[in-house]
Amino acid sequence: MSRLPKSLRALLSYVERLPNPFRVLILYIGFALARVGLIDRHRVVRTTDLAWPRIVTGIARMSKNAVDVAMVGVAVGTGAVAGVGFAGPYWGLAFAFGGGVAGGTIALVSQRFSAEAFVELGDAVRSSALLAVAITVPVSAAFWAYAPAFIDLLSSNERAIAYGADYLRMVGLGVPFAALNLVGSRVLVGCDDAYTAMQVRAGGAVANIVLSALFIFGFGWGVEGAAIGTVLSNVLAVGGFTVGLVRGSAPLIGEFPVAIDPTGSYVNPGMLRDLVEIGVPVGARNLVWTAAEFPMLSILDVFGENTVAAFVIARRIWGIMNTPG
């Protein structure tokens, strides 16, 4: 921040002081609940400060998904939207597995951050990164090698299978980065800083839209362009988290609440065991929601690609509406 031009620093400082509409809305609802005795008033502000950046992040990510589908539909057609939809639950596995690890991460990090046990906090972060990569790299390799077979399980539409396989093969390369993206976000939330996590992940979502538009319309890469945009945006977000957590700050983002030594041990049996014990139930819960989409899409395929495409679009809109959760 100190290296930015004085005029830009002043502008950023002014923007940060502006009342955030999401925060104001949540505070209004929270204080209304406090007036009828359903929540303690002092908890409203604390919860709001952690919640509103997560909501903004969710809106950015879900909007990115909706825009991706819209651009694919305009550039390629209904069959491509259906193909991306068939690949969607497989991509969701990254968030099921990565979300499980991240669930363990936030628990371990928050405990140690509160106790100011920063050496153990570093062990938790490095162990989380190792576990996330170890779990997701085989998934990524399977998507690259067997993408057509995976999509074929859900559809008999050859055109949709081809589009879905092209998308899954490319987007599968981003599975480890998506998992690390989740881990990085939960590290910051566990350190009482949801705002910085929002900056990184929302910035990645914006980059995804820009890159996908360039690759789809500018280069004419179709569904593969959308997939590459998703992969690169996750790489950029992981890069932002990595730089910030290692240096304690990142350009255009500012200070991070902690700095992690990247040269420490990554294999901590106790930490890995705790991550697995906490993360498995979280990952299993996420997996249930993801797994439910497979039979649904298979059934919808019977009614044709237009029906599948309509379902995919509706799910993207539902995702935006569900971000306050």
What's CA 133's distance to the chain center, in Å?
15
Predicted local confidence at residue 6, as pLDDT: 52
Q: Say how far apart CA 124 and CA 114 lie, in whole Å.
A: 14
Cα distances (Å, whole numbers) of residue 120 to 39, 100, 243, 266: 34, 20, 20, 12
Predicted local confidence at residue 94, as pLDDT: 76
The alpha carbons of the chain give a radius of gyration, in whole angstroms, of 21
- Of 26-30, 83-87, 132-136, 264-268, minimum mean pLDDT range: 26-30
Confidence of residue 139 (pLDDT cuts 50, 70, 90): very high
Tell me the β-bridge partners of 255: 249
- 93 and 139 Cβ atoms separated by less than 8 Å: yes
Q: Kindly tell me if the per-residue pLDDT of 61 is higher than 90.
A: no
What is the DSSP code string of 83-109?
A: HHHHHHHHHHHHHHHHHHHHHHHHHHH
Confidence of residue 236 (pLDDT cuts 50, 70, 90): very high
Predicted local confidence at residue 14, as pLDDT: 42
- 53 and 194 Cβ atoms separated by less than 8 Å: yes
pLDDT in tens, 184-234: 999 999 998 988 988 898 888 889 989 999 999 999 999 999 999 999 999
Percent of the chain with pLDDT over 70: 94
The mean pLDDT value for 254-277 works out to: 92
Predicted local confidence at residue 20, as pLDDT: 67
Predicted TM-score (pTM) of the model is: 0.85
The mean pLDDT value for 71-97 works out to: 90
Percent of the chain with pLDDT over 90: 57
Predicted local confidence at residue 15, as pLDDT: 41
Q: Whole-number mean pLDDT of the chain?
A: 87
Tell me the β-bridge partners of 227: none
pLDDT in tens, 267-304: 989 999 999 999 899 888 888 888 888 999 999 999 99
- 306 and 160 Cβ atoms separated by less than 8 Å: no
Strand ranges, E, within the chain: 249-250, 254-255
Residue scoring higher pLDDT (285 or 133): 133
Residue scoring higher pLDDT (163 or 35): 163
Predicted local confidence at residue 19, as pLDDT: 52
pLDDT in tens, 21-48: 767 788 888 888 888 888 888 788 878 8
